[in-house]
Structure formats: C-alpha cells, structure tokens
Amino acid sequence: MRAVKSDPIFAAVGDIDELNTKIGTLIALLAKSKNEYVIDPKSGKLKLKDALSSIQSDLFSIGADLASSANKAFLPKRRIGKEDVKRLESYADSMGSLFPALSSFVLPGGCIESAAADEARAVARRAERSVVNAANSFKIENVEILAYMNRLSSVLFVAARFINGANGVKETPPDY
C-alpha cells in the first residue's frame, strides 16, 4: 500500500514526534531543578527524568512501528510490548502512592515543570486519538501501541501532580 503525506498514519507519527519534544522540554526543566524527583522511594533509584527518557525511546519505537504500517522499511529494532505498558503503570502507581487520591478535577499548571507535564499530557491524548484514527485506515499490527498510548497520558497526569506535590504546590480545583 502506497501512503501519502495526508494519510492518518503520518498525522499520528507527527503527533508522537511533537509529544516526544514536549517530554524533552519537561526533562530539560527537571534537570535544572535541585529536586531529583525520585519516583520510587523504596529503592531511591528511579528518577522521573530517567523514566521520561525511557518513554522517549519508546515513542521512537512507536513512531517507527506506525510508519512501518505504511512502509516496512521503517520497522523498528524494538517493538512496544505488554512489559512496556506494565512499566508505565508502575511509574504511575509509584508516583500516585506519594499523594492523596483526587476528590475533584484540578487545574493544569502549578510550577513550571508541572505545567510542562500537563502540556505533554494534552499532546499525549491527541497523539492517542491520532493513533486510533490511523488504526481505522491502516493495519497496525502491534496492538500494544494503543494500550501504551492510553496509559501514557495517565502517567503524565500523575507526573504533573507528583511534581507539584514535590514542590509544595497546592492543587487548585476549577470553579465551574
């Protein structure tokens, strides 16, 4: 099948690329902070910026995998699997255990790092919609991509809350 630039598969790949740049910006902001943002306090080893860096590599694999739906020349060296989805869930669980459950919606923002995580989350949701749309036009063989993209926006939402909490920033509920 010959694909053209206007095909949904390329919109999905572009949205994933944009998401990767948003995560890169978040990592750069985290690197400037004195806070190490350790997301696994039991081991004390896993830092948020390292988790995000692994997500960036995953996004390159996903982009290549999606592009290979249109042209097999783009087949990635590594495909996203169930273990990658579980790793995302473990990131969210580790960070989520460090603050109370939500009782209402919260406004995006807070400190600059959290705002960057919120922006990445919004782009992740758009990228997920683009991937689902592309799946309607192209046969995406790796269904784990859909699960991964679904979980990723949740991880970024929890990361935004985690970052605000680590900086003592109170969450603000919307007035609606």
At residue 1, the pLDDT reads 53
Which whole-number Å values give the CA distances from 155 to 8, 53, 69, 87, 110, in the listed order? 25, 13, 26, 10, 17
Q: How far apart are CA 59 and CA 167, in angstroms?
A: 28
CATH of the domain at 19: 1.20.1200.10
In a domain, 173, yes or no: no
Domains of the chain: total: 1
DSSP H/E element including 133: helix 112-137
pTM beyond 0.75: yes
pLDDT by position in tens, the chain (length 176)? 566 777 898 999 999 999 999 999 999 999 999 899 999 867 778 999 999 999 999 999 999 999 887 777 777 889 999 999 999 999 999 999 888 888 889 999 999 999 999 999 999 999 999 999 999 887 888 999 999 999 999 999 999 999 999 999 999 999 98
In a domain, 135, yes or no: yes
Domain span at residue 146 reads 8-166
In a domain, 42, yes or no: yes
